[in-house]
Amino acid sequence: MRTKVVSVSDRMTEVRSKFVETTLEDDLADMIDLMKASLVGRVDQDEHQILFVLGESHAGKTTLLKRALLNDPAFQPYEEDYKPILPLARMSVFAPSSLRNLAVDGLNQMLGYPVKADLKRTVAWPEFRDKLEERQVLFLWLDEAQNLLHVNDPNDIYLIANALVGLVQREKWQVRLILSGLPDLVRLRDYDTIGNRSLILPVPSIEIPEDPADVNPKRDDKQPDFAAIVRGWVREVVEVHAGLRLADFLGGDFPARLVHACGKNFGSIIRLTRNAVEVALLRHDSRSTEPCIVLKDDFGTAYKNVSGVPNLLNVFHAPNWKDLPLGLARIRSEDDVEAPTADVRPAKKVKALRAGERRK
């Protein structure tokens, strides 16, 4: 492998490890502080016990939470009498979900207590709850929590909702819950016992204004400057993370073209910008004394590499870019395929049958 390719690969590994700031960090920090306070004393009765962080795939939910939680000194693991203490415990939820599956996965994968996969629900959940206390878990973060709605039996959602509430209000050992997932997860708040106890932080998609070429639109001062925000992300990746220079192309409708190419998705915008950096580094002659400059064409090449479209249909080149398909550079994942979900309303109790009796 050529030395230049290896060098660019190493440099891109470093660039991709960097975190891009958004406007949500402060909001999340304030909500986590409210949840911490609710562990110490009553804050508006039962409020601030559960936090929902909702957004589309690759909108930045997980990265946002990792940065806030994993860097917080209060959540660092430690040992006490040779036993691991986990102030923060995190796991992903898998479908199909059930209270038993949640407990077994939590015991096996998160808390380090191997149990049999066929453990009964009536044994698994109390064991999970007790081990949270033993590990002194204060915050429990369930990622991909929309899978809590993907159940084989609608009654399972009712059981899960009640069990989660039981964790946050248990007198012997209370925990605080963070549930992150797709927007559909908000349906879990339809249960009053959860809705009344929860905060919600939406991680929105990026909306393109009617006139994206107007970099100083007449707007309410409270509304963010769309173009300035997107340009700020590009500059942070290119100039701060990669240490390169940008050609003068960020004005006009470029921010809107970038957002259109990436399907209004934050994570995809960051990935395509990083890909453009990689294209520029590979294009640049490493023997040259001239600095490497990222061009608009580098974004076009990065977009072509991801989408496979010809230049005539390239969002960064075509004059009719608004008419081209939205989001061909959007990161795809399993979340983009809809999974069947159960009605979150509690199902009616079914009367037990007598011996020999059949259901009508």
Q: Could you read off the pLDDT of 148-201 as tens digits, one per residue? A: 999 988 888 999 999 999 999 998 899 999 999 999 999 999 887 898 899 999
DSSP letter, residue 123: H
- Here the tokens at position 190 are 């339809």
How far apart (Å, rounded) are the C-alpha atoms in residues 172 and 341? 34
Q: With a threshold of 0.85, does the pTM exceed it?
A: no
Lowest mean pLDDT among 77-86, 165-174, 299-308, 329-338: 329-338
More confident residue, 354 or 175: 175
How far apart (Å, rounded) are the C-alpha atoms in residues 69 and 63? 10
212 to each of 21, 276, 302, how far by Cα in Å? 22, 22, 22
| Amino acid identity at 13 | T
| Amino acid identity at 230 | V
Mean pLDDT of 204-227: 62
CA dihedral 232, 238, 243, 244 (to 10 degrees): -120
How far apart (Å, rounded) are the C-alpha atoms in residues 38 and 176? 9
CA dihedral 306, 312, 316, 317 (to 10 degrees): 150
How much is the pLDDT for 335?
A: 47
pLDDT reading at 132 higher than 80? yes
How far apart (Å, rounded) are the C-alpha atoms in residues 235 and 246? 8
How far apart (Å, rounded) are the C-alpha atoms in residues 303 and 314? 7
Alpha helices in the chain (DSSP H): 3-16, 25-40, 61-70, 99-105, 121-134, 155-169, 192-195, 226-235, 254-261, 266-283, 296-307
How far apart (Å, rounded) are the C-alpha atoms in residues 283 and 338? 40
pLDDT reading at 104 higher than 90? yes
Whether 229 contacts 214, CB under 8 Å: no
